[in-house]
Chain A
Amino acid sequence: MSMFRRAPGAVWRSLPIGIVVRRPGTTSEALTLTGAAAEIWLALDEPRAIEDLRRVDADADAVIEMMSSVGLTTEADQLQ
């Protein structure tokens, strides 16, 4: 079962425009997460299984893939 968590060093703030999050290890602009991405981000206060995240949003697989591709999330077991 795949478990996901926020990438270490991803610093972020919850703002009226969405979740503003800085990608760790980069010098690029902070990203703004809205909609399902913002909800899933907030759900990742602890490592979560993809099955749990699908309950937050039906498209959780695609959202997690997108966030992982830009370095915002990672598989929890990859950290061990």
Chain B
Amino acid sequence: MTSADPERVVRATAAVGLPGVLPTEQGDRLVFTTSALNLVTGLRIEGLVQRAVTTGLVEAPAPTNTDVEQAWLAAVRRSLEAEWWAYETLEALDAAHVPALVLKGIAIAHLDHDDPNERVFGDADVLIRRADHGRALAGLTAAGFRRVEPPVHTWWERRFSKAVMLRTPSGGELDLHLSITGGYFGERIDHERLWARRADTFDLGGRAANALDLEGRWLHACCHAVLGGGSGLRALRDVAQLLLIRNVDWQRVVDEAVIDGTDAVVAAAVRTTWEQLQLDPHHPAAQWAAGHAASPEQRRALAAYRTANHEGWGAEGWSTLRALNAVDKVRFLTGAAWPSSDNRRYRGRSRGDHLRAMWATARSIVRRGVK
């Protein structure tokens, strides 16, 4: 039998090289067609597609095989652009004496794949401590970086934002993270614990770049897979790659997630990864995830992120409130309700428009029971 079902072929491709992939219909030949290639566009798994074709997991008849290779080479070139943006960022932050950790694709490609060309990416993500927010932005601005959007308020951004988006001097995209995820779970994660661990290091353009340790990278991959909204197979592959190839100490991550109240995110990431990539359910992490019951609090928060993925940031933002103490609740709401004039102008809203939009979001959330 031959299968050219694009969705099935792409899923199999995303799992190439992983141990414990379940044999589906035995003896099927998987054929990578132009439809499958179109499906891959935007998923950023061109490196895995190339590997699947060159190792014979899937067949790609001419001229699709050439298209696959060209798509992969273009993706690697884009990845190099993003690495340059990260390099520019680290140099500027070094000059400002701000410690920084490279996140996501760049770190995972270099630290968790034997061949970094398998994991492609399109932007640079760098994490700093909230306390360094002002110094980092001053240093980056001096180096020619420009922020994309005016802050809600500087104090609000420093305390509550997940990330600040900037344009690099060469026009690239930098997400300067203050936390590894936003909303309720971003508040719950103990970031100082992540920073306290010894960073993993890799070479980036001739300089040392620091990244979260393996367990930190896995927690972040889980967050991205479940809370990232549309991150899809690429993020699920990251979860599986770090667990099955790099043998992350997943139990330690779970233990710490239980302390923080974020274990539901880890469990959901593992369940989704196993289901989508069709992996052997006997793995102990998969069995833990299958039997995991989220607390009502975590279930409400997860629902808020799902709503946010479909309808905008509002619901995720509101979910933050549940993780804040009374004083921070007031500060969060004050800033959110009265953003700076520059921020409102950027979003094309009058003060009245903004308050009406907030009110509509709040009503929608209360109606859905997502508090």
- Is B204 interfacial (CB-CB < 8 Å)? yes
Partner of B80, one of A7, A8, A12, A17: A12
Binary contact readout B81-94 vs A (1 if CB under 8 angstroms, 0 otherwise): 10110011001000
B contacts with A, residue count (CB < 8 A): 19
B80 touches A9 (CB 8 A): no
CB-based contact A15/B76 at 8 Å: yes
Could you say which of A21-29, A34-42, A52-60, A61-69 contacts chain B?
A21-29
Number of interface residues of A (CB under 8 A): 20
Nearest-neighbour CB distance to chain B for A55, whole angstroms, equals: 23
Q: Are B77 and A29 in contact (CB under 8 A)?
A: yes
How far does the alpha carbon of A29 sit from the alpha carbon of B78 in the complex, in Å?
10
Chain B residues near A30 (CB, 8 Å)? 77, 80-81
Q: Which A residues are in CB contact (< 8 Å) with B81? A: 22, 30
Smallest beta-carbon distance B204→chain A, Å: 7
| B206 on interface, CB distance cutoff 8 Å | yes
Decide if A20 touches B205 in the complex (CB within 8 Å): no
B363 within 8 Å of A by Cβ? Answer: no
- Count A-B contacts at CB 8 Å: 52
Beta-carbon contact of B87 and A11 below 8 Å = yes
Give the distance to chain A from B367, nearest Cβ to Cβ, in Å. 48
Whole-angstrom distance between the alpha carbons of A19 and B81 in the complex? 15
A60-B198 Cα distance, complex, nearest whole Å: 41
Q: Are A17 and B206 in contact (CB under 8 A)?
A: no
Give which listed residue, B73, B87, B171, contacts A9 with CB less than 8 A.
B87
Which secondary structure dominates chain B's binding surface? helix
Contact B84 A22 (CB under 8 A): yes
Q: Are A27 and B76 in contact (CB under 8 A)?
A: no
Q: Do residues B80 and A20 form an inter-chain contact, with CB atoms below 8 A? A: yes
Given contacts A15-B117, A22-B84, A24-B84, contact A9 B205 (CB under 8 A): yes
Complex alpha-carbon distance, A13 and B116, angstroms:
8
* Closest beta carbon of chain B to A22's beta carbon, Å: 4
Complexed CA–CA distance, A48 and B77 (Å):
27
Q: A22-B84, A24-B84 are in contact. Are A11 and B205 (CB under 8 A)?
A: yes
Known: A9-B205, A27-B171. A17 touches B73 (CB 8 A): yes
A49-B206 Cα distance, complex, nearest whole Å: 18
A9 to B205, CA, bound (A): 4
Measured CB to CB, the closest approach of chain B to A76, in angstroms, equals 11
A/B interface sample: 28 pairs, CB < 8 A:
A5-B206, A8-B206, A9-B88, A9-B91, A9-B207, A10-B205, A10-B206, A11-B80, A11-B83, A11-B84, A11-B204, A11-B205, A12-B80, A13-B76, A13-B80, A13-B116, A15-B117, A17-B73, A20-B77, A20-B80, A22-B81, A22-B84, A24-B84, A24-B87, A25-B170, A27-B170, A29-B77, A30-B81
Residues of chain A at the chain B interface (Cβ within 8 Å): 5-13, 15, 17, 20-22, 24-27, 29-30
Top 7 nearest A-B pairs (CB, nearest first) are A11-B83, A22-B80, A9-B205, A11-B205, A9-B87, A8-B206, A30-B77
By a beta-carbon cutoff of 8 Å, the part of chain B in contact with chain A is: 73, 76-77, 79-81, 83-84, 87-88, 91, 116-117, 170-171, 204-207
